[in-house]
Every structure is written in C-alpha cells, then in structure tokens.
Amino acid sequence: MPMFCSARRWAAAGGWAACLCATVAAWAGPVDPVGDFLFTRGLVDGAMRTEPTTSRPPMSDLVVHAIGFVGTPYRLGGSHVESGFDCSGFVQTAYRQTLGVALPRRAAEQAEATQTIDHTDLVPGDLVFFNTLGQAFSHVGIYVGGDRFIHSPRSGAQVRLENMKEAYWRARFTGARRVEALAAGASALLGR
C-alpha cells in the first residue's frame, strides 16, 4: 500500500490505480482528473469520477497531462507527441506544457537543475532518476504515486507506467528530485 493512500482508501478503491484516483480527488477537492482519464479507458468504474472544478494542485495537472502521453512511441532525441519522446524530452514537454517550466533537455542536466529529495518524500510530479546507461542520471521519469512512475523507456517501446519496486528499476534508482515550481505544494502534502 503506498504511503499517500490510507488503508481504508486502498481497500475501498481496490488497488493502486483507483487509490491514485481517490488520492488526487482528495488533494484537489471535488475534481478527479486521473479517475476521469482512467474511466474513459475502462480501467475503473464510474464511481471513481467526480464533477470537474477549476481549482486543483499543479502536480495533479502535471500527472494527468503526463498520463495522457501513454502510448506515445519512444524516439531518441524526441520531444513532440507527434513524432515521439525520449525520456528527458517527455519530462521536458510535460513540465513546459502543463506548468510553463523550462527544464533542460538532457536527464543529467534535469537532475542538476532540480532539488535533491529523499525517496521517502516523493510526491506526484517529482522526478525520478535511474542509471540505465552506466551513468548516474541517464534516465528520468515523473513520479505519479504508489511507487509508480511514467516515462518513455527505450527504442521500440512507448510512454508507460512502471513500478519502481520492480527489481530492474529498484537496482538502477539513483535519486529523486523536485522541481522548484512544485516545492510549496509538495510541502503541503507532506505536512511541512
């Protein structure tokens, strides 16, 4: 059970995806954009949906926007939904389009330009980095909650959700970072 999800919510929701939806709804008040997205794809039932509102945390918008890229093909050097993304192009585009934040182009540069945080302090919208090419910050994704992240993994693959606790990702995890634009919202979620 993820740390952001109470035992009651986890049991009532029926798993990580539904719990993520319920958690985003709790952060944002009466809006559940993740639940709406998952409902339209038949992944949760209509009970997870709520009425839209215009007020929600920026990390909610970022996660929902990033999830909207699921299925976009990987393309080395890519930074457009039409032609495909590599990992850092995906992150750069999601932040720019959702929050207007200009992140550097390469994963290692994105790590340098953001605040180091402990993995226990991860909240949706934070960046997670991995060593996939023999370099500490050679791969990046966006944390969505519940030990899951979204990324553009490799040639021949598509943007997708992964579990950070899978052996492959756990062994290659090199750090978590927070984009300054989300720091205040993250502190509120963590109760600090």
Selecting among 5, 21, 65, 151, the annotated active-site residue is: 151
- The CA distance from 159 to 142, in Å, is 11
Instruction: Determine contact, residues 92/79, Cβ cutoff 8 Å.
Output: yes
65 in catalytic set: no
119 in catalytic set: no
- The CA distance from 172 to 107, in Å, is 14
21 in catalytic set: no
Instruction: Determine contact, residues 90/97, Cβ cutoff 8 Å.
Output: no
Q: Which helix (H) or strand (E) holds 96?
A: helix 87-99
Catalytic annotation, residues? 87, 139, 151
